[in-house]
Structure 1
Amino acid sequence: MFRCLLVLWSIILVRGTTVCPCERPELCQQVRDERDFEVFVFDVGGKTWKSYNWSMVTTVATFGKYDAELMCHAHSKGARVVLKGDVPISYIVDQENRTAWITEKVTLAKSQFMDGINIDLEQAVEEGSPEYYALTDLVKETTEAFHREIPGSQVSFDVAWSPKCIDKRCYDYVAIAESCDLLFVMSYDEQSQIMGDCIAMANAPLSQTLNAYDQYLKMKIDPKKLVMGLPWYGYDYLCLNLSQEGTCFIAKVPFRGAPCSDAAGRQKTYKWIMKQVNVSMTGRLWDNEQQAPYFNYKDQKGQIHQVWYDDPQSICPKADSVKSKGLRGIGMWNGNILDYSDEPVARQQTALMWNALLGC
């Protein structure tokens, strides 16, 4: 009861006090135009968004603190700005909790002049469990509420790189895809469950990544519902042992049933990687099997690390497959982690990463 009163009070408060923060009031109107090709950007805060390639961006999912200036600028470029939606799945098994959460998010989206929501849960769910059905209902009811209350709004849902119960996320992918506007496929962290040798590997190996889209498409999911998500970051692994062949053996860090995982490494931004590779032991190396770059370096203690990442050469064939498979578009986690400084080399590297989203 208290929860319902809280939501009701927030609706009254928001509708009574919300004022458009943009210089031009029309920029507070929701973006309704559909683009043929989606470029979906996650933004985690700060002001680096000012340096994005706005000729390409169609949707920005705001995972940082609300920034009215970002909303106004995105709308001036015809790009949507959407909320982050996160909630414990166990909580939304209860219908009243689910309705209250959805009402709260719709109200917040309206008050911030947003254009939809990106639902990002990533929690383990058993097939056929109460949570399994509640999650499907959440997506369906959220989409219906947003479409009703904010005409032309977009509801997207983030899914693992493969639909085969990755990280124990056994969702009803077909029903969820039918319910919402987009599935953002997180084609990264593909070593979250390492079942074989505990070794450093590519974040998103090409064949593994592309095969997973075939899995989604074999489920009869509309390709126009799928957005390919790419990593603009890599993993820095401490090598417990580096073999003569260059294999980096890593610590055993279990995750959701797997004995080893990429949690043994540390995520590093493309900005950091581009600086570190220049002072590495090996310089940039290329793995033909995984179709990904990597390098080795020594830290201040003399310990050897191996860093796997994506760059334009590894991204281009993935971006080409987006078009050949007829997918809805492409995106990345996340837009902030390139080097947007005025340094000439950095500017070139950043431009090449944005351009790679359109293919080779």
Structure 2
Amino acid sequence: MFGKAGIVLGVAFYLVREERAHISSMVLFSEGNVSEKEIVFPARRAAWIKQKIDIAKNQHMDGINIDIEQRVKRKSSEYYALTALVKETTEAFHKDIPGSQVTFDVSWSPECTNHDRCYNYTGIADSCDFVFVMSYDEGNQVGSKCIARANAPYNQTISGYDSYIRMGISPKKLVMGVPWYGYDYTCLSLSKAHVCSFAKLLSQRLPCSKASGHQVSYKIIMNSETNSLSGILWDKEQKAPYLEYKDTNGTFHQVWFDDPRSISLKTAYVKERGLRGIGMWHANCLDYSRGSAAQEQTKVMWEALKPK
């Protein structure tokens, strides 16, 4: 068999068209590499689908979310096989588990910008209930300058949805995914204009990518705000917050993330363009302790997902 399976709980999808908040019930989360030896054979796809349906039934789940994130060349055998996998999974789940939901995770843009994921996006969207657009980890730079930047810049994020819609995918098939985490970059230099230059990763395919920073959850970022040099700053061009601090070795860091202000801008777009809804990755990035500050931070992050 191919891929890994797990459970995803309580991912919030605020369904704009229904004008109410809906917390999704428990669905099977299937991720992992899909080798061409597996996915291109109908019998092996069928066996994989049966396995997932059996798990979903045994654990009383309400559907499956497919998260592949594998490189696929346009018009290749894998390109068509992946579309067939989604279609066959949807048909089987709808038949065996009435009312179930089958969704597929796609990159922030359909332009093969994220690790060459050149999928049949229109075919996949037509074949499942909706696609969850992972509008984060957009910081893959190919230029010569390695400069820290937002995880999900507003204009770049929105351009991805415009591209999906232009290619013929209905807004009602698109759920926007926003990040509840950011990236911490170690600065080789930090200018007075708040430009953080970081070292290239010579072993990486994209040496100036987000891989130069390390991922950090929103709750950790908020806990470190009081010790920062800058407090929370706002980048007008990228419409994203960031902060700066100095570590115990005296090295400067810059942390880029999303907060209620940046997320609310994206929620407004969801409502304006009539997307199916908005969700996040992932709920555990918030602080659910009983402290008053933590409770307020968590409350406003959830509220930011509600269309006004």
TM-score normalised to structure 2 length: 0.90
Which residue pairs with 1:283 in the alignment? 231
Q: Secondary structure at the match of 1:310?
A: coil
Letter paired with 1:89: V
Match of 1:243 among 191, 194, 209: 191
Is the Cα contact below 8 Å between 1:82 and 1:115 reproduced in 2? yes
Match of 1:135 among 82, 97, 102: 82
Q: Structure 2 matches for 1:330-349, cutoff 5 A?
A: 330-349=278-297
Is the Cα contact below 8 Å between 2:267 and 2:304 reproduced in 1? yes
Identify if the C-alpha distance between structure 1 residues 110 and 37 changes in structure 2 by more than 3 Å, giving closer, same or farther.
farther
List 4+ stretches of structure 1 deviating above 6 A. Answer: none
The answer to whether structure 1 residue 82 and structure 2 residue 27 are counterparts is: yes
Q: How much is the aligned-residue C-alpha RMSD, in angstroms? A: 2.0
Q: How many angstroms apart in 2 are the aligned matches of 1:359 and 1:253?
A: 40
Which residue pairs with 1:125 in the alignment? 72
Q: How many angstroms apart in 1 are the aligned matches of 2:245 and 2:100?
A: 46
Which residue pairs with 1:25 in the alignment? none
Letter paired with 1:340: Y
Match of 1:151 among 79, 98, 103: 98
Letter paired with 2:30: G
Larger Rg: 1
Give 1:143 shift.
0.5
Letter paired with 2:76: S
Give 1:257 shift.
4.7
The answer to whether structure 1 residue 322 and structure 2 residue 270 are counterparts is: yes
Which residue pairs with 2:4 in the alignment? none
Letter paired with 2:264: C
The answer to whether structure 1 residue 177 and structure 2 residue 125 are counterparts is: yes
Q: How many angstroms apart in 1 are the aligned matches of 2:273 and 2:203?
A: 32
Q: Secondary structure at the match of 1:293?
A: strand
More strand by share: 2
Which residue pairs with 2:10 in the alignment? none
Q: How many angstroms apart in 1 are the aligned matches of 2:185 and 2:45?
A: 40
Identify if the C-alpha distance between structure 1 residues 118 and 220 changes in structure 2 by more than 3 Å, giving closer, same or farther.
same
Q: Secondary structure at the match of 1:168?
A: coil
The answer to whether structure 1 residue 165 and structure 2 residue 130 are counterparts is: no
1:308-354 deviation per Cα after TM superposition (whole angstroms, max 9, x unaligned): 01101111110011010000000000011101111001101110000
Unpaired stretches in structure 2, ≥5 consecutive residues:
2-12
Identify if the C-alpha distance between structure 1 residues 188 and 36 changes in structure 2 by more than 3 Å, giving closer, same or farther.
closer
Is the Cα contact below 8 Å between 1:160 and 1:186 reproduced in 2? yes
Is the Cα contact below 8 Å between 1:38 and 1:330 reproduced in 2? no
Identify if the C-alpha distance between structure 1 residues 256 and 213 changes in structure 2 by more than 3 Å, giving closer, same or farther.
farther
Identify if the C-alpha distance between structure 1 residues 254 and 331 changes in structure 2 by more than 3 Å, giving closer, same or farther.
farther
Identify if the C-alpha distance between structure 1 residues 142 and 87 changes in structure 2 by more than 3 Å, giving closer, same or farther.
farther
Which residue pairs with 1:113 in the alignment? 60
Instruction: Identify the range of structure 1 (84-93 vs 333-342) with the bigger mean alpha-carbon deviation.
Output: 84-93
Q: How many angstroms apart in 1 are the aligned matches of 2:67 and 2:247?
A: 35
Q: How many angstroms apart in 1 are the aligned matches of 2:83 and 2:287?
A: 38
Q: How many angstroms apart in 2 are the aligned matches of 1:259 and 1:253?
A: 5
Instruction: Identify the range of structure 1 (84-93 vs 347-356) with the bigger mean alpha-carbon deviation.
Output: 84-93
The sequence identity of aligned pairs, in percent, is 55
TM-score normalised to structure 1 length: 0.78
Q: How many angstroms apart in 1 are the aligned matches of 2:151 and 2:142?
A: 12
Which residue pairs with 1:297 in the alignment? 245
Q: How many angstroms apart in 2 are the aligned matches of 1:132 and 1:229?
A: 23
Give 1:192 shift.
3.2
Give 1:86 shift.
2.3
Identify if the C-alpha distance between structure 1 residues 289 and 179 changes in structure 2 by more than 3 Å, giving closer, same or farther.
same
How many pairs does the alignment contain? 293
Give 1:94 shift.
1.9
1:261-290 deviation per Cα after TM superposition (whole angstroms, max 9, x unaligned): 001101111110001111011111111111
Which residue pairs with 1:73 in the alignment? none
Q: How many angstroms apart in 2 are the aligned matches of 1:259 and 1:87?
A: 24
Unpaired stretches in structure 1, ≥5 consecutive residues:
4-33, 40-54, 60-79
Q: Secondary structure at the match of 1:98?
A: helix
Instruction: Identify the range of structure 1 (154-163 vs 246-255) with the bigger mean alpha-carbon deviation.
Output: 246-255
Which residue pairs with 1:46 in the alignment? none
Q: Secondary structure at the match of 2:78?
A: helix
1:53-108 deviation per Cα after TM superposition (whole angstroms, max 9, x unaligned): xx94432xxxxxxxxxxxxxxxxxxxx21101224322212222111111000010
